Amino acid sequence: MKKEFDYLIVGAGLFGSVFANEARKKGKKCLLIDKRSHIGGNLYCENYEGIQIHKYGAHIFHTSNKKVWDYVNDLVSFNRYTNSPLAYYKGEIYNLPFNMNTFNKLWGVNTPAEAKARIEEQRARYSHIEEPANLEEQALKLCGDDIYRILIKGYTEKQWGRAATELPAFIIRRLPFRFTYDNNYFNDLYQGIPVGGYNKLLTALLEGCEVRTNTDYFSDRSYFDKLADKILFTGCIDEYFNYEFGALDYRSLRFEHEYLDIDNFQGNAVVNYNEREVPYTRIIEHKHFEFGTQPVTVITREYPKEFTKGDEPYYPVNDEKNSDTYRKYSEKAGQTPRVIFGGRLAQYAYFDMDDTVEAALKLTEQEL
């Protein structure tokens, strides 16, 4: 008996929406369900006085993949936003990523040769460390005292909720020093934010598709499983298999939004707060993503959070234990008929947005 839908897509985030868009073009009928009250997953924006608030943290689309860039630009227009975050430490502002502006502020050096010499001088103090035992030793070996103390230590400890001496060295494998006066955080060829916010991109992707929000797949999975010939599951893979091999670990975030009757709070979209004593890792001022001129502004303080059940999972913890656990789930997923697993949660991986679009397009080429 023919089912009502060709595909049930669990999760109306970017991965599921790209797949749904391509499936619709091929004449397939899709139903997307999402337990949240909105589409778009973590890309969702909320409008306040014409300001698009990135409700789940800053999202900047960047890629060197022209196919992906053309794909999203065919759906919506992107602005020229360039990600150039700042770092605040004890009353001083530093440019990120580590570049000549940063080195000039740290040491008063003006040329790349002077900056390289100062970094080598600081690194030399730790040349005796052959095998770094922890993140602190690794960072000191790579960059020396000043950069580590001002720009790495406190921020990283807040992110992970542990002292740098208790974190594994492999978290920092290399440090990207840029010996040019270039504050563009990314090296990609293309970069920007959809004009009018990410909701426009998601709405364009889902045109012609049936979407049900406030709908939890796990509330009645036997009912939902009967609705479609195949299922694309983009949620947490361990939850799908009822935590058979144990729960996977994540890092989570908490956001605190504040609406201010001033036109400009910090003059930049993203400012990192590097002091360990400051509880949040950064403040986002959303209007600057779209060069806003509104008389009001909205800021968001971003706090790292230990993940507990019920929290939004943001970042996988890719240590040996979790990698082994995911491998077991992945093997079982490969033996599960009618179900496709895709997206960052189902694949227990950190994906940038361009990675997500590319992976979803590849899946459609294989599947449709």
Per-residue model confidence as pLDDT tens for the chain (368 residues) = 779 999 999 999 999 999 999 999 999 999 999 999 999 999 999 999 999 999 999 999 999 999 999 999 999 999 999 999 999 999 999 999 999 999 999 999 999 999 999 999 999 999 999 999 999 999 999 999 999 999 999 999 999 889 999 999 998 988 999 999 999 999 999 999 999 999 999 999 999 999 999 999 999 999 999 999 999 999 999 999 999 999 999 999 999 999 999 999 999 999 999 999 999 999 999 999 999 999 999 999 999 998 988 899 998 988 889 999 999 999 999 999 999 999 999 999 999 999 999 999 999 999 98
32 and 118 part of one domain: no
Neighbours of 288 (CB within 10 A): 19
238 and 331 part of one domain: yes
130 and 242 part of one domain: no
- Residue 20 included in any domain: yes
Of these residues, 36, 149, 251, 276, which one is catalytic?
251
Task: Give me the domain span that covers residue 324.
Answer: 5-82+192-248+318-367
Picking from 142, 171, 200, the residue at the C-terminal end of a domain is: 171
Of these residues, 302, 326, 329, 344, which one is catalytic?
302
161 and 103 part of one domain: yes
- Residue 276 included in any domain: no
Q: Which two tokens stand for residue 206?
A: 């889902």
110 and 207 part of one domain: no
48 and 163 part of one domain: no
- Residue 179 included in any domain: no
Is 302 marked active-site? Answer: yes
How many alpha carbons lie under 13 Å from residue 289 in its C-beta half-sphere? Answer: 27
240 and 339 part of one domain: yes
Is 212 marked active-site? Answer: no
pLDDT of residue 353: 98
- Residue 156 included in any domain: yes
- Residue 312 included in any domain: no
pLDDT of residue 309: 84
pLDDT of residue 131: 95
Neighbours of 252 (CB within 10 A): 16
Is 251 marked active-site? Answer: yes
- Residue 226 included in any domain: yes
Instruction: Give the single-character DSSP code of 312.
Output: P
34 and 167 part of one domain: no
pLDDT of residue 361: 98
Is 178 marked active-site? Answer: yes
Picking from 111, 141, 171, the residue at the C-terminal end of a domain is: 171
Picking from 171, 205, 227, the residue at the C-terminal end of a domain is: 171
Number of domains present in the structure of the chain: 2
Q: Calculate Rg over the CA atoms of the chain.
A: 22
Q: What is the CATH number of the domain that holds 29?
A: 3.40.50.720
233 and 147 part of one domain: no
Is 216 marked active-site? Answer: no
316 touches 250 (CB < 8 A): yes
Burial 90-100 (b: 16+ CB within 10 A, else e): eeeebbbbbbb
pLDDT of residue 264: 98
- Residue 261 included in any domain: no
pLDDT of residue 2: 79
241 and 328 part of one domain: yes
Instruction: Give the single-character DSSP code of 252.
Output: E
pLDDT of residue 258: 98
- Residue 77 included in any domain: yes
Cα–Cα dist 132/113, whole Å: 27
Of these residues, 148, 250, 273, 282, which one is catalytic?
282
Is 80 marked active-site? Answer: no
Instruction: Give the single-character DSSP code of 149.
Output: I
Of these residues, 312, 352, 355, 367, which one is catalytic?
352
172 touches 148 (CB < 8 A): no
Is 301 marked active-site? Answer: no
User: In the chain, what's the furthest Cα-to-Cα distance?
Assistant: 75
Burial 51-83 (b: 16+ CB within 10 A, else e): bbbbbbebbbbbbebeebbebbeebbebeebeb
Of these residues, 80, 131, 174, 365, which one is catalytic?
174
161 and 127 part of one domain: yes
76 and 25 part of one domain: yes
Q: H helices within 244-352, ranges in order?
A: 320-333
Among candidate residues 10, 54, 82, the one with its CA nearest the CA of residue 230? 10
